[in-house]
């Protein structure tokens, strides 16, 4: 009822809770608790219009008790809840499969990049590097330390008091660096 208004959970055993949590128990043979959970989740976006505080979102027990609820038969509630459980499980499975697919695709892209960067896309004669992560490279390639090819500079900490000038430059933070995405600079 306070702060995380609308967060739902199911207590699978007899228990007690503090004043920030409102318990709703279905009446025997009248309401299915799974259907109620889905109904309340459906109402969550509208709860903000009921908040009664300037500092912390909250509802009271009377407001929740007066939320609209459907007079659907217990049997229909169970059928709907069974359907929602099955569909939710199906969607959750699809999400897991898609996340795994994305991981595999990212690994494949990294593999292709590594192969290209290490000269694996060419059929030139190869030489051993002695590096476990890059065992061979084309014979015409030479290896050297990064500093032989680039200027390497450590970054500076941002000091908001010292930010001056008409044309400030973007500040790249560690949190802005992500694989396969354009960095967001602040």
Task: Output the DSSP codes for 69-125.
Answer: -----HHHHHHHHHHHHHHHHHHHHHHHHHHHHHHHHHHHHHHHHHHHHTTTTS-S-
What's the whole-model pTM score?
0.56
Do 52 and 60 contact (CB within 8 A), yes or no? Answer: yes
Helices 33-43, 74-117: axis angle to 10 degrees equals 60
Residue located via tokens 């217990």: 74
Across residues 92-112, what is the average pLDDT? 94
Say which DSSP state 11 is in. -
For residue 164, the Cα-to-chain-centroid distance in whole angstroms is 36
Helix, coil or strand: residue 58: strand
Tell me the per-residue pLDDT of 129-158, one tens digit each, with 9 for 90 and over. Answer: 998 888 888 998 888 899 999 999 887 777
Higher pLDDT, 179 or 91: 91
pLDDT band at 186 (very low <50, low <70, confident <90, very high): very low
Of residues 153, 152, 182, the one with CA closest to residue 170: 182
- Ranges 24-28, 130-134, 176-180, most confident: 130-134
pLDDT at residue 29 in the model: 80
**Please, what's the b/e burial string for 70-87 (b: 16 or more CB within 10 A of its CB; e: otherwise)?**
eeeeeeebeebbeeeeee
Mean pLDDT, rounded, for 119-134: 85
**pLDDT tens readout for residues 32-89:** 889 988 988 888 888 777 776 666 677 778 888 888 888 899 999 999 999 999 999 9
């Amino acid at each position: 009822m306070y702060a995380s208004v609308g967060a739902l959970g199911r207590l699978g055993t007899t228990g007690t809770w503090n004043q920030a949590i409102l318990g709703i128990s279905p009446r025997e043979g009248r309401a299915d608790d799974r259907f109620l959970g889905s109904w309340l989740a459906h109402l969550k976006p509208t709860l903000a219009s009921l908040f009664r505080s300037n500092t912390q979102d909250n509802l009271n027990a009377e407001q929740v008790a007066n939320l609209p609820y459907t007079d659907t038969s217990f049997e229909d509630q169970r059928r709907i809840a069974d359907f929602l459980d099955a569909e939710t499980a199906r969607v959750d499975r699809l999400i897991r499969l898609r996340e795994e697919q994305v991981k595999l695709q990212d690994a494949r892209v990294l593999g292709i990049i590594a192969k290209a960067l290490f000269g694996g896309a060419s059929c030139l004669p190869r030489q051993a590097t002695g590096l476990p992560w890059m065992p061979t490279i084309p014979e015409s390639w030479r290896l050297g330390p990064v500093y032989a090819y680039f200027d390497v500079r450590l970054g500076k900490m941002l000091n908001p008091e010292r930010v001056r000038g008409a044309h400030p430059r973007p500040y790249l933070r560690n949190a802005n660096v992500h694989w396969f995405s354009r960095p967001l600079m602040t």
